[in-house]
Structure 1
Amino acid sequence: MPKNRIRSSAMTLGAAAALILSLAGCAGSSAGQSGEGLDSAGQQALSQAKDFVEKSQSKVTDVALASSSPAIAKDISIVVIPCTYAAEGCKRVADSVQEAGKTLGWETRMIDPAGDPEKMRQAIRTALQLKVDGIVLGAIPEILVKDDVALARAAGIKVVNAMEPNSKEFSDAQTGTDNVQAGRMNAALLAVQTGGLGRVITINDPQFPAVIGWHKGFTEGLKEFCPSCTIVKEMEFQLSGLQTTLPQEFQATLTANPDVNAVWAAYDPVVTAITPVIERSSNPDIRVVSQNADPSALKDLKSGDKPVLGSVGYSIEWIGYSAVDQMNRLFSGSLPDAERLRTVPNKLITSSNVTTVPWDGDADWKNAFLTAWKSAK
């Protein structure tokens, strides 16, 4: 299956109208989406942001799906190691890898390191002791496990990296998405939401390369689409403090910056953690953008009564199935270099374009894999 491509069609007039109405209904600044108070450069940037938001919300219409498969490897045992099973995105990739592996008749198991770097390394060493044939890493940063992965590969274990944009030398294959593009989508959405006058808090988890890419795309996109926007505070946290220290630190930051009207969050569980803080603050109209489009975020978007404004979705389940497909091709020696790095499409999801929960990538990728695998058995 070649690297996926995205060509989004233009939104229908009805979808565009729904977007405008949904944004207008939750305006976070006195200027709304009009751009009142902007100079000509700011007005032009805001116009470009609106165009980019429309494009980013369009249905994905051009993807490359699996059409064939080598013979399914027999008597295979694999382990999937997510960053932490408690985080919805990591849970989803672990579940999809196990589902796909069992479909192929493989023995599959999950080892949960619970977000602890030492337990991540120990999980790989456990896989070595179990003498598994393959390891799938779900959102595990290379810097935390590089040496242990090298030991596993030296022992003949195939390693597929899912979700994190680690170096190509780190693993035998990788499936992810365009993280910088996703960040730009959120920047454009906040520019439109705040009428080009955003006062923004960013909440970054720089431990993860995917988040680094999202943050890079957002900050660069904000300069492009919202030159009058200001990042008033850049917060950083670690996953282990998601439910404990982060809400407290965010509360203090909001108190110190009462004119904030928007937040960029590293991923959807961050939105869940800070939502109660926003709802009881002096400005409950603050809006938040994020990444992953987890089912909980999509449900909140549909309800329309939570701070979340949008989340950039990519099908994590698609990534899990792709990782297993890559693993099978590695076992057969038929994974060409062009397919060692695969990407699945992004889509900006707001209240106006929630379709499936979780988002299915606007493609029947699962049936394509199952059909190809069935034909190969």
Structure 2
Amino acid sequence: MAPVTAWAGPTETPTPPTDISIAVVVCSGSVSGCVRQADGVTQAGEALGWTVTRFDGKGDPVGQNQAMTQAINSGVDAIILAATDPVPLSGAIELAASRGIPVGAAGLGIAATDGVLFDVAPDYTLWGDQLGSWIVTDSGGTANFLPTVDREFPSSPAIADAMVAAVDRCDECVVQDTQQFVVTDIGNGLGQRISSALQAEPSIDYVSGAFDSAAADMVPAMGNSGLSDRVTLVSCVGAPQNLGFIRDGNIQAADVVQDDVFLGYGAVDQMIRVLSGQPLWETSGVTDDRLRYSQGAPSRLLTIDNVDEVTDQYWVAENGYVDRYLELWGVTP
């Protein structure tokens, strides 16, 4: 997939308000994508002179509710959820609304609700279709595929379901039952569990890692189980370790990457509009409500054919978005 040089984001933004305090509720401090989305919010907020405070949800609903409640009680002007599922937070989101604290999100792949005013995220269904289609092509139409999913993240089932649908369209391919896990399984036996499932069914030759932090737990376990020459893994997000697996030919062969920092900048841009009492920016040409406020969030499929085009530690969208946002906000770089 070619570099993403096109700009599908906003062309105007209201004058940003000043003296703003914003909180970021991070899904888990151990999941790189969530952390980098918070990095984007922090960078963008600090460029505006805002105060940005992070609260770690620690990868489980109890910790995320505690983080959300702490954010509300800290007296912030607004809250952004960094890939933190709002469903288990309904009570805390109602509390925020009762105190006049707007809540937005990044990296979820959900439609706006009364409680969560926007979500800035790429098209995760497209990701699943891209990865599933890649598996079919790479296998020559004979893949035996093991999907995995973490339903704590709304994006994960969207990706997994689309991947399964794409492989299912292949007449000679086989799709196994989906393996489910949660964030707290990462580093606590997840890799070995998936390796055991692969050993129990020797015909499986493709597996999804769901997302890169989980995939990074699976790859070493598969290697230690002697599966390196048999199984090919695909994943998404774009963590440096996973791009290294692709470069080294180490089990993982494809990754759909997003620029998580972009998502943070986009969420701040939408929050400027909310705090200014102006309409949210709607992405042109979008019919899926989940993408209405996405700000044209970019993504890119990386394989051995193009992974070396990523010269930084993480993929950075090639459309110069930082300078574009700062110009929209009237901030001198």
TM-score by length of 1: 0.80
1:187-241 residue CA offsets vs partner (Å, 9 max, x unmatched)? 11111221111111112112211001101110111123x2211123421111111
**1:242–1:270 Cα contact (<8 Å) kept:** yes
CA separation in 1, counterparts of 2:19 and 2:38?
20
Structure 1 residue aligned with 2:46: 102
Residue 296 of structure 1: CA displacement?
Answer: 2.1
Residue 349 of structure 1: CA displacement?
Answer: 0.7
User: Map of 1:1-377 to 2, 5 A cutoff?
Assistant: 57-169=1-113, 170-224=115-169, 226-285=170-229, 286-302=231-247, 304-336=248-280, 338=282, 341-342=293-294, 343-354=296-307, 355-356=309-310, 357=312, 358-374=314-330
1:365 maps to amino acid: Y
Aligned to 1:335, what secondary structure does the other structure show? coil
Residue 337 of structure 1: CA displacement?
Answer: 6.3
1:366 maps to amino acid: V
**1:66–1:365 Cα contact (<8 Å) kept:** no
TM-score by length of 2: 0.90
Residue 374 of structure 1: CA displacement?
Answer: 2.4
Residue 375 of structure 1: CA displacement?
Answer: 5.4
**Cα RMSD, aligned residues only:** 1.9
Structure 1 residue aligned with 2:286: none
Aligned to 1:135, what secondary structure does the other structure show? strand
Between structures 1 and 2, the one with greater helix share: 1
CA separation in 1, counterparts of 2:117 and 2:150?
26
**2:148–2:160 Cα contact (<8 Å) kept:** no
Residue 148 of structure 1: CA displacement?
Answer: 1.0
Moved more, 100-109 or 256-265: 256-265
CA separation in 1, counterparts of 2:197 and 2:280?
49
1:222 maps to amino acid: V
1:152-199 residue CA offsets vs partner (Å, 9 max, x unmatched)? 022111111111123411312220111110001001111122111111
| Identity, % of aligned positions | 26
Moved more, 96-105 or 243-252: 243-252
CA separation in 2, counterparts of 1:289 and 1:227?
21
**2:270–2:281 Cα contact (<8 Å) kept:** no
Structure 1 residue aligned with 2:287: none
1:14-54 residue CA offsets vs partner (Å, 9 max, x unmatched)? xxxxxxxxxxxxxxxxxxxxxxxxxxxxxxxxxxxxxxxxx
**1:179–1:210 Cα contact (<8 Å) kept:** yes
CA separation in 2, counterparts of 1:278 and 1:111?
34
Residue 372 of structure 1: CA displacement?
Answer: 1.6
1:153 maps to amino acid: A
Q: Which runs of 5+ in 1 are unaligned?
A: 1-56
**2:131–2:163 Cα contact (<8 Å) kept:** yes
1:243 maps to amino acid: G
The verdict on how the C-alpha distance between 1:178 and 1:300 changes in structure 2, with shifts beyond 3 A counting, is same
Aligned to 1:78, what secondary structure does the other structure show? strand
CA separation in 2, counterparts of 1:375 and 1:269?
34
The structure that has the greater radius of gyration is 1
2:163 maps to amino acid: F
Q: How many residues are aligned here?
A: 319
